[in-house]
Amino acid sequence: MPGRRNAKSPRGSGNEIANHANASIPSAAITALTLPRFTITSRQLIFASVILLSVAAIFALLNLQKTSALRSEVVQSESARLSAEQQRVSREKQLKEREAATAKFGDTQNKVAASEAELTKLQAEKTDLQTKLHANEAEIADLRKRIEAADKPTANSSQSSSATGDLQAQLDDARKQLDAAEREKILLSDKMKVTTEKSTQIETERKHRPAPTVNNAAIRGTVLAVNQAYNFVVLSLGARQGVEANSEMLVLRGGSFIGRIRISSVEPATAIGDIITTTLARGVQVQPGDTVVYAGNNS
């Protein structure tokens, strides 16, 4: 028995050694694989904070610049809108003034034409009254001769009483006609005087009336043709209507402003003008049939 116990004891010692070795291996491996501990200092925190603050300041500066640029664009857009609105109001005012001037010029022309027509009528009436007055004077002279002849005593004293009565009746009738003719002469003379006074007044006004001149504000025409390649137009009015070289015309369509043209060449009945492209709205072009109105002379 004692010999058996001694024989088993070496096996038990080997198992204990193996178990101890197996138990110690994981701890060593874990110890070998563990990373070294990283320590963050206050200097590193301050440095990181400064970097983050610098990045934030850069982004804030960029945002501030972008905001300032957007603000400038808004201000420019608003200024452009106000300027365009002022130009529109100014153009509408100019158009109204030119239309009023055109209407006034037309009224003046109509008054002149009416005065000329009245003068012509008065002159014709005066001529007719003169003719009637001459005829009346001739009739009065004839009646007076008849009355004088009737008042003379006849050489034949044996004239019958009936013939004397007829002669007296004729004499009375002639005297009545003479009275009527005298009254008509007075009436014709009065009419003649009134007509002469009116005629003289109209002629005096016409003499003192200033010579008719072309009112630039009344210059108005249409676009006959447009050359888009070379940006010029042909107009339906020229030197006879008072168009001058280097003057500007407003282009209208349906009463709305389209743009401006500058006259480059003038003929008696037509004119050529260059389109001022900077005055045209985007996508808008001058077309045949558009109305043109005098805008001013830049000479």
Closest of 299, 251, 242, 241 to residue 273, by C-alpha: 251
Please name every residue paired with 233 in a beta bridge, in sequence order, or none if there are none: 226, 273
Neighbours of 95 (CB within 10 A): 17
CB 217 within 8 A of CB 105: yes
Beta-carbon contacts of residue 295 (< 8 Å; ≥ 6 apart): 94, 247, 248, 249, 250, 260
All residue ranges of the chain with pLDDT < 70 are 1-38, 94, 98-110, 112-113, 150-165, 167, 206-218, 296-299
pLDDT (tens digit per residue) in 243-281: 999 999 999 998 888 999 999 999 999 999 999 999 998
The full set of domain ranges for the chain reads 112-153+163-208, 216-297
Angle at which helices 161-208 and 42-151 pack, to 10 degrees?
Answer: 160
Amino acid at 97: E
Specify the residue for token string 């158009």.
Answer: 95
Structure confidence at residue 52 (pLDDT): 92
Output the pLDDT for position 6: 47
Q: Cα separation of 27 and 61, whole Å? A: 56
**Rounded to an integer, what distance in angstroms lies between the CA atom of residue 88 and that of residue 146?**
86
CA gap 275, 259 in Å, rounded? 8
Gyration radius of the chain over CA positions: 59
pLDDT tens, position by position, 280-290? 988 899 999 99
Prediction pTM value: 0.33
Provide the pLDDT for residue 272: 95
CATH number of 216-297, picked from 1.10.357.10, 3.50.50.60, 2.40.10.340, 3.40.50.300: 2.40.10.340
**Dihedral sign of CA atoms 52, 56, 59, 65 in order:** negative
Give the pLDDT score at 22: 54
